[in-house]
Amino acid sequence: MSEGTRNTPIPRDTLAAILESATLAPSSHNTQPWRFELGETGISLFADRLRALPVNDPDDRELTISCGCALFNLRIAAAHAGFNTECQLLPDPGDEDLLATVSFSPVSGEEGRQTELFRAIARRRTYRKRFESKQVPSEVLGILEESAETEGAWFQVLESEHARHQVAELVAEGDAAQWSNPSWRRELAAWMHPRRKGDGLTVPGMVAPVAQLVVRTFDMGNGVGAKDRQLADESPVIAALGTAGDGVEDWLKAGQALERVLLRSLGQGLQASYLNQPIQVAVLRPKLQHLLGRSGFPQILLRLGYPATDLPAAPRRNLQEVVETADTRDIKAKQAGQGRQR
């Protein structure tokens, strides 16, 4: 492929539609920790570390996974718009915030349009309610396993009742550890917002101050743990998604694999939510690894099943808040430097 073909310019309205899809990716506490920079022939994806969760996610591991999810949505939306993507992960060792660059070339024919995955992007939800009791066929789980492998990750279902129960106990133990930490509770409360804010965990405006106060003040780990234990025990599928390594590039691969799994799940009528406490609490992660009985690093713990009801979409920030050009980035950097000199 020639340089000119690979770096095909895309109309601005098409770019906007592609980026709208990218921003529908999941993220911890709905922080939406990504920024996009438009170049003449491509898009750069940056981590927005002002939206990091230093207590819940001290290494920015989940932040990077979320950006990987956004990158996958971008790839699928571009394909649907008629463009192949070529992604370079971590292209600049001197800029740790620059996670990927994406260039475009035309898609030939309809096969590469990824219509099913694209349609699933806007319908994906984080489903925190109880699932229907209907079991998920093994062939569907096989599809999800292949989906993760396509992106360089693995997907493993915990099949035995003993393993599922042990995972449920780890989830409850993780809840207890997190809620006992006042700094963790303050961080959670800080991301509880009315929907109009466009990010965070949605709380009705009139209730938000009270909800934040309660979360900051009270250790509710036992109650939350009991609820999450029950959700885990009753879920049709508990599965871990992981990678061979545990570095930034692995986390980006995990994010792309996660989003592919979530979108393929939706195509099979499934929704999912997360039980990541045994991975977030460092002392519990080796216990989960032992239960899985395999090499590699679990990055995400999922519960999947058939939803009993429809849920509204989580709020999203305006596209103008997450997209800039190289010129506007330079202006912001210069202004920040002038501010430090004053």
* pLDDT of res. 54: 99
Q: Does residue 340 carry a pLDDT above 50?
A: no
d(C-alpha 8, C-alpha 114), whole Å: 19
| The pLDDT of residue 207 | 86
Confidence of residue 3 (pLDDT cuts 50, 70, 90): very low
Give the residue-averaged pLDDT of 32-43: 92
Residues with Cβ < 8 Å from 87, sequence gap 6 or more? 71, 75, 100, 101, 102
Q: What CATH number belongs to 3-125?
A: 3.40.109.10
CA 153, CA 246: separation in Å to the nearest integer? Answer: 11
Can you tell me the mean pLDDT for 267-287? 98
Q: Is the pLDDT of residue 341 over 70?
A: no
* pLDDT above 70 (res 5): no
Q: Which two tokens stand for residue 240?
A: 């871990």
pLDDT for 12 equals 85
Instruction: Show the beta-strand stretches assigned E in the chain.
Output: 34-38, 42-47, 83-89, 98-106, 154-157, 192-193, 201-202, 237-243, 271-274, 297-305, 323-325
**Beta-bridge partners for 192:** 201
Sheet of 297-305: strands edge to edge? Answer: 154-157, 237-243, 297-305, 271-274
**The two structure tokens encoding residue 92:** 């600049």
pLDDT by residue (tens digit) across 128-137? 999 999 999 9
| 8-23 mean pLDDT | 92
pLDDT digit string, tens, across residues 295-313: 999 999 999 999 999 999 9
Strand 297-305 and strand 237-243: the pairing is antiparallel
Write down the mean pLDDT value for the chain. 93
Q: What's the token pair of residue 332?
A: 């912001």
Amino acid (one-letter) located at 46: F
List of residues 6+ apart from 152 with CB closer than 8 A: 243, 253, 256, 257
User: Is 49's pLDDT higher than 50?
Assistant: yes
Helix (H, G, I), strand (E, B) or coil at 87: strand
Mean pLDDT of 197-201: 95
Are 292 and 156 in contact by the 8 Å Cβ rule? The answer is yes
335 pLDDT above the threshold of 70: no
Q: For position 4, what pLDDT does the model report?
A: 45
Cβ burial, residue 86 (10 Å; 0-12/13-18/19+)? middle
State residue 246 phi and psi, 5-degree precision: -140, 45
Would the pLDDT of 55 be above 60?
yes
Q: What is the pLDDT of residue 113?
A: 86
Tell me the mean pLDDT in the region 206-232: 95
Percent of the chain at pLDDT exceeding 70: 92
Which helix (H) or strand (E) segment holds residue 183: the answer is: helix 182-190
Is residue 298 within 8 Å of residue 265, measured between CB atoms?
no
- Predicted confidence (pLDDT) at residue 109 exceeds the cutoff of 90: no
pLDDT at site 1: 42
Task: Let me know: does 6 contact 106? Beta carbons within 8 Å.
Answer: no
Question: How much helix, strand and coil, in percent to the nearest 5, is found in the chain?
Answer: 50, 20, 30
Domain 138-180+219-305: CATH class, spelled out? alpha beta
Provide CATH 3.40.109.10 ranges for the chain: 3-125, 138-180+219-305
Q: Which of 72-76, 116-120, 205-209 has the lowest mean pLDDT?
A: 205-209
Is residue 20 pLDDT above 90, yes or no?
Answer: yes
Are 85 and 18 contacting, i.e. CB atoms less than 8 angstroms apart? Answer: no
Q: Is the dihedral of CA 323, 82, 148, 202 positive or negative?
A: positive
The whole-angstrom separation of Cα 215 and Cα 269 is: 34
